[in-house]
Amino acid sequence: MMRPMTKRMLSKFSLALLTSAAFSMTACAAESPQSTTAPASVQKTSAKTGFDAPASAWRDVDPENLLVIDTDYGQIGVELYPEIAPKHVAQIKTLTRQSFYDMITFHRVIDGFMNQTGDPKGDGTGDSSLPDIEAEFKFRRPPSMPIQLIDARRTPTGEVGVGFYKALPVASQPAAQAMLTKDGKVEAYGLHCSGVTSMARSQNPNSGNSQFFLMRGTAEHLDREYSIWGSTVYGREHLTKFKVGTKGDDSGFIPDVMKKVRIAADISEGERPKVQVLKASSPAFDQYLASQKKADGTYPDICDIKLPSRTL
C-alpha cells in the first residue's frame, strides 16, 4: 500500500514515494557493454571499449553538452540534450557553473530504480535560488531530427516507435505523420531507462528546480511524467555503486556525494574527457544490434540496449 503523504513528502522528495508500489516490481535493466571510464581526478583515458568499430562509426560528444560528475567510485559523464529539454539543460548548466552541485549528496537511493541528488539541504526538501522550470515531459520532433528506430512499444495511447536519438532511448510517433500536424512535427519523449537523467519534482508538474535523478533501472511508468534531459555516456557502471538508503529515515544512512560537477567545456583541454558514442545510424551499430538478439531472434527491450561509448 502506498504510504500517506505528508507536507514533507509533497516536496521533490516525493518523487519515489508517488510510485513506491511500482518500484518494488521494477526490474533492473541489463548492464551496458564494457566502457572506459575516467578516474575521479579528470585525466585522459585510453580508448578501450567492449565493441570494435571503425573511426567513422563514432560520434564525438560536444564538451559543451557533457556533464562531468566526480564521485568516490569514479567519474560519470552525462550527455545533455538542449534540443529536447532546453530549459532543464540551461538550469543544470547554470547551477553547475555556479559550483552548486559540488559536494551535494545522493540523499535518496533506491536499488533497481534511481539515485536522487541536487538538494542543498540533503533531505529532499531543498532547491536552488533559481526559479522552478516548466515541464518538458515531451518534445516536438521535426522530420530532420534523426531517430534510429529499432522496435515498437504499445502504450495506453497507442503504439509508438522506440529507438535512439544520439545516446538517448526515445519513443516517437512516425515522422510521416508530420505532414498532418500544424507545426510539421511529431510528438516524442525520452524513456526512463538505466543511465538516463531526469528532473525530480513535486506533484506540481512545473516544479523542477535543482534536484535530479540518475536511473539505476527501468521505470516505464515515469515516461511523459518527468523531464528527461540527459543520458550517461560513460561511467555507467558506477550508478549501481552508490549506497542505498534515504537521508533522515533513522537508519543511519550516510549518503555518497557528488564531489565535483563540471561542464566538460570548462575543463582544460588537456584534462577534459573526450567522449565518443557509437553512431546509431552506422553499419557498425547494425552489427552491434544483431549481436544483442535473443535466442528466439527478437531484439531485447529498448532499455536493455546500450550504445557503446569510449573515452580518448
First to last CA, the chain: 48
- Residue 52 located in a structural domain: no
- Residue 20 located in a structural domain: no
By residue range, what is the domain housing residue 181?
57-311
Q: Is the pLDDT of residue 1 over 60?
A: no
Identify the pLDDT of residue 238: 98
| Percent of all residues in the chain with a pLDDT value above 70, rounded to a whole number | 84
User: CA 106, CA 121: separation in Å to the nearest integer?
Assistant: 11
Tens-digit pLDDT profile for residues 19-66: 433 333 333 322 222 222 222 333 333 344 567 899 999 999 999 999
Lowest model confidence (mean pLDDT) among 20-29, 85-94, 153-162:
20-29
Residue 51 contacts by C-beta under 8 Å, 6 or more apart in sequence?
A: 33, 278, 284, 288, 308
- Residue 265 located in a structural domain: yes
pLDDT band at 86 (very low <50, low <70, confident <90, very high): very high
Paired sense of beta strands 228-234 and 196-199, if any? antiparallel
User: CA 306, CA 128: separation in Å to the nearest integer?
Assistant: 32
- Residue 222 located in a structural domain: yes
Q: Looking up cell 540527459, which residue turns up?
A: 230
Identify the pLDDT of residue 49: 52
Number of domains the chain is built from: 1
Identify the pLDDT of residue 209: 98
Tens-digit pLDDT profile for residues 217-268: 999 999 999 999 999 999 999 999 999 999 988 788 999 999 999 999 999 9
Tens-digit pLDDT profile for residues 116-137: 999 999 999 999 999 999 999 9
Q: Is the pLDDT of residue 196 over 90?
A: yes
CATH number of the domain that residue 289 is part of = 2.40.100.10
Identify the pLDDT of residue 310: 94
Identify the pLDDT of residue 297: 87
Identify the pLDDT of residue 264: 98
105 vs 299: which has the higher pLDDT = 105
Torsion of CA 277, 281, 282, 284, to 10 degrees: 70
- Read off the pLDDT of each residue in 83-105 and give the average, rounded to a whole number: 98
- Residue 184 located in a structural domain: yes
- Determine whether 27 is exposed, middle or buried from the number of CB atoms within 10 Å of its CB (0-12, 13-18, 19+): exposed
Lowest model confidence (mean pLDDT) among 9-13, 120-124, 158-162:
9-13
Best-predicted range by mean pLDDT (2-6, 173-177, 303-307): 303-307
- Residue 22 located in a structural domain: no
- Residue 168 located in a structural domain: yes
If you average pLDDT over every residue of the chain, what do you get?
85
Distances (CA, A) of 263 to 71, 86, 100, 180, 293: 15, 16, 12, 39, 36
Q: Are 308 and 48 in contact (CB under 8 A)?
A: no
Identify the pLDDT of residue 229: 98
Lowest model confidence (mean pLDDT) among 166-170, 199-203, 206-210, 290-294:
290-294
Identify the pLDDT of residue 10: 39
- Residue 12 located in a structural domain: no
